[in-house]
A and B are shown apart, each in its own frame.
Chain A
Amino acid sequence: MFIGFGLFFMIGADNYELGSAARMGPAYFPTMLGGGLAVIGGVVFFQSFVVSGGKVAAIPLRLLFFITVALLLFGYLLKPIGLVLALALLVSVSAFAGHEFKLREVLLLALALILLSVLVFVKGLGQPFPLWPKFLG
């Protein structure tokens, strides 16, 4: 647990130092900030060794994975396969993140959300999304 804490901050501090290293053009302000951040990152990193007892809850990897994948699938497939199918994907993949997965519920929910989204966003707000896959239209 303790090692985990330290590791997390090493990654954190690493990110911070990138800020100060990137000197581009009018870099006065960013360099100042980046420097400050690096110092604080260092202090926090150091503290994590000195002050014991801090425990870091595990990152819910499974949840993060399904939600992220669901979002990315939607984002990159919307144009090729259309809103209806992309939404169906989004809802069903994200449903795997939940505690229980019931196929009927998910299908019903997906159906309801697709209807609602088509009505609100495409018909109501006039967003220019394709509804169906290209090869059908």
Chain B
Amino acid sequence: MEMQFLGNLSLGFGVAFQWVNLLYCLIGVLLGTLIGVLPGIGPTATIAMLLPVTFGLSPITAMIMLAGIYYGAQYGGSTTSILVNIPGEAASVVTCLDGYQMARQGRAGPALAASAIGSFFAGCMATVIVAMFAPPLAGMALKFGPSEYFSLMVLGLVAATVLAHGSLLKAIAMVLLGLLLGLVGTDISSGMMRFTLGIYELCDGIGFVGLAMGLFGIAELISNLELKGSREVFTSKIGRLMPSREDFRRMWKTILRGTALGSALGILPGGGPLLASFAAYALEKKISGHGDEFGKGAIEGVAGPESANNAGAQTSFIPLLTLGIPSNVVMALMIGALMIQGIIPGPRVMTEKPDLFWGLIASMWIGNAMLVILNLPLIGIWIRLLTVPYRFLYPAILVFMAIGVYGLSNSPFDVLLMAIFGILGVIFVKLECEPAPLILGYVLGPMMEENLRRALLIAQGDPTVLITRPISAGFLIAAVILLGIVLAPAIRKKREEVFVED
């Protein structure tokens, strides 16, 4: 086991150190930091935008770059939170609370350093956790039959709706709508066209890239344009970067706790960096012993959430790599990226494409090291970027989206699709319906249908197969319990509180 582990890692580093992969890893983390720093564009929209670009890359290079964007954004987001008091990215919302206060007290340097050190440590630990836990989980997943898969996906979708903010009913409606949209196109079993409205281009289904870009990219862009007013950048003095010995003393336990909590929450279906950072902040406020300083510039309030969101970002790859099931929207986009490359994510990826699996993990290590180098000494450059007005940014974003989508099939149809889903996305935002569950449903829809059909075929049409097989029943029971918990009044209130700050 030991030897095999080391062998796998060396295979991974062999792949990750190929110069193409190093280059794209660097591009990924650079882009990630960039969009993390810039408020108004997040990792979801960026990854959606870059999906067309990944066509020309090998699967492993594409994954390395996209993963780099994802965890790079967690790093970059903290910079904006600390210096401008605007979260550069959703998971950094809580970092604003204490980070900005530290900056106002002239301690922006230590705050930035605390977040970078915490993130780096968490990133490294989470990589080890992914490397250790993924193989046994994948082994277990290989024993799953179609009924287990179906139930697991039900659980994943329920978790996604529970963790979405806003009305639970609307979230469920969005999941169902997503599932339905995923079914458009040619039916796999019968070869029959479904819901194509007679449009030839819809035979292969609704294009994933157009859908994702419209719902996230365009909708986000329009929401940002609606906000008036300029940003005030807090650049006066960053001060010295290194935290004092006292800071270190207060920080290290927090970082450890944040990492552990973040890793655990990242693995959960529906979890990820956002949830992890909120939970870590709440935890530190209770047990760090400096609870009274929170909100007034406590270094724990920066280090905790920042390590947690990075750990969560990385461990959320575990369900993707082992089960082929996305735990959040970014992971759903990753599945899309893999499928574009002709790879079906799931437990077999590890045995059939060990270079992809281990190369990706090794690249996370390398990427984290790059991020520390990018973020601390180059902080001045990132800050200057914050002064670019949005009226220059959004046409650029639009251009990249338009060209990217057009390039998919060299036809205007995908652009039209993106525009339609852009309009829908804006309407959803106005109706307080979150698009995230929709995308998850869209990705899982065809898989769920196929597995359900197979399960019922094997059981000769007997639907009880879903509850008589123990593992499958376990997943379904977990899903029901989860729903029950949310519907219980006490938790419901708590959930609203947590997401109100968003």
Is A75 touching B392 in the complex (CB atoms < 8 A)? no
For A91, the chain B residues whose CB sits under 8 A away are: 395, 398-399
Is A70 touching B407 in the complex (CB atoms < 8 A)? no
For B331, the chain A residues whose CB sits under 8 A away are: none
Is B419 touching A72 in the complex (CB atoms < 8 A)? yes
Contact of A97 among B170, B176, B225 (CB under 8 A): B225
Interface size on A, residues (CB 8 A): 60
For B426, the chain A residues whose CB sits under 8 A away are: 59-60, 64
Known contacts A8-B427, A129-B403; 15 further A-B pairs (Cβ under 8 A): A15-B177, A25-B192, A29-B453, A36-B176, A37-B176, A44-B170, A44-B173, A59-B426, A59-B430, A72-B416, A76-B415, A95-B395, A97-B394, A109-B396, A117-B399
Is A74 touching B402 in the complex (CB atoms < 8 A)? yes
Tell me if B's interface is mostly helix, strand, loop or mixed.
Answer: helix
Is B412 touching A67 in the complex (CB atoms < 8 A)? no
Question: Looking across the interface, which residue of chain A has its beta carbon closest to that of B170?
Answer: A44
Question: Looking across the interface, which residue of chain A has its beta carbon closest to that of B411?
Answer: A75
Is A40 touching B410 in the complex (CB atoms < 8 A)? no
For B439, the chain A residues whose CB sits under 8 A away are: none
Is B222 touching A127 in the complex (CB atoms < 8 A)? no
With A44-B173, A91-B399, A121-B403 as known contacts, state yes or no: A34 contacts B180, CB within 8 Å.
Answer: yes
Question: Would you give the shortest CB distance from B70 to chain A, in whole angstroms?
Answer: 22
B-facing mask of A1-26, CB < 8 A → 1, else 0?
00000001100100110010010111
Which residues of B come within 8 Å of A, CB atoms?
Answer: 53, 56, 167, 169-170, 172-173, 176-177, 179-180, 183, 187, 189-190, 192-195, 218, 221-222, 225-226, 228, 391-392, 394-396, 398-400, 402-403, 406-407, 410, 412, 414-416, 418-419, 422-423, 426-427, 430-431, 448-449, 452-453
Cα(A21)–Cα(B406), bound, Å:
33
Tell me if A's interface is mostly helix, strand, loop or mixed.
Answer: helix
Is A109 touching B449 in the complex (CB atoms < 8 A)? no
For A41, the chain B residues whose CB sits under 8 A away are: 173
With A94-B398, A128-B410 as known contacts, state yes or no: A67 contacts B176, CB within 8 Å.
Answer: no
Question: Would you give the shortest CB distance from A22 to chain B, in whole angstroms?
Answer: 6
How many residue pairs at the A-B interface have CB separations less than 8 Å?
154
Is B430 touching A98 in the complex (CB atoms < 8 A)? no
16 contacts between A and B (CB under 8 A): A24-B195, A29-B452, A40-B176, A44-B167, A59-B426, A64-B222, A70-B398, A75-B414, A78-B412, A87-B399, A90-B398, A100-B391, A109-B396, A117-B400, A121-B403, A129-B403
A85 close to B (CB within 8 Å): no
- Which residues A69-116 have CB closer than 8 A to chain B? 70-72, 74-76, 78-79, 87, 90-91, 94-95, 97-100, 105-106, 109-110, 113
Question: Looking across the interface, which residue of chain A has its beta carbon closest to that of B390?
Answer: A98
A131 close to B (CB within 8 Å): no
A50 close to B (CB within 8 Å): no
Contact of B407 among A40, A56, A105, A121 (CB under 8 A): A121
For B399, the chain A residues whose CB sits under 8 A away are: 87, 90-91, 113, 117
With A25-B190, A26-B189 as known contacts, state yes or no: A71 contacts B402, CB within 8 Å.
Answer: yes
For A129, the chain B residues whose CB sits under 8 A away are: 403, 406-407
Cα(A70)–Cα(B114), bound, Å:
44
Is B422 touching A57 in the complex (CB atoms < 8 A)? no
Question: Would you give the shortest CB distance from B307 to chain A, in whole angstroms?
Answer: 35
Is A67 touching B226 in the complex (CB atoms < 8 A)? no
For A8, the chain B residues whose CB sits under 8 A away are: 427, 430-431
Question: Looking across the interface, which residue of chain B has its beta carbon closest to that of A29?
Answer: B449
Question: Would you give the shortest CB distance from B319 to chain A, in whole angstroms?
Answer: 23
A43 close to B (CB within 8 Å): yes
Is B412 touching A76 in the complex (CB atoms < 8 A)? yes
Question: Looking across the interface, which residue of chain B has its beta carbon closest to that of A108?
Answer: B392
Cα(A3)–Cα(B402), bound, Å:
36
Question: Would you give the shortest CB distance from A108 to chain B, in whole angstroms?
Answer: 9
Is A109 touching B187 in the complex (CB atoms < 8 A)? no
Cα(A76)–Cα(B406), bound, Å:
10
Cα(A34)–Cα(B179), bound, Å:
9
Is A113 touching B410 in the complex (CB atoms < 8 A)? no
For B190, the chain A residues whose CB sits under 8 A away are: 25-26
Question: Looking across the interface, which residue of chain B has its beta carbon closest to that of A40?
Answer: B173
Cα(A128)–Cα(B322), bound, Å:
37
Is B394 touching A74 in the complex (CB atoms < 8 A)? no
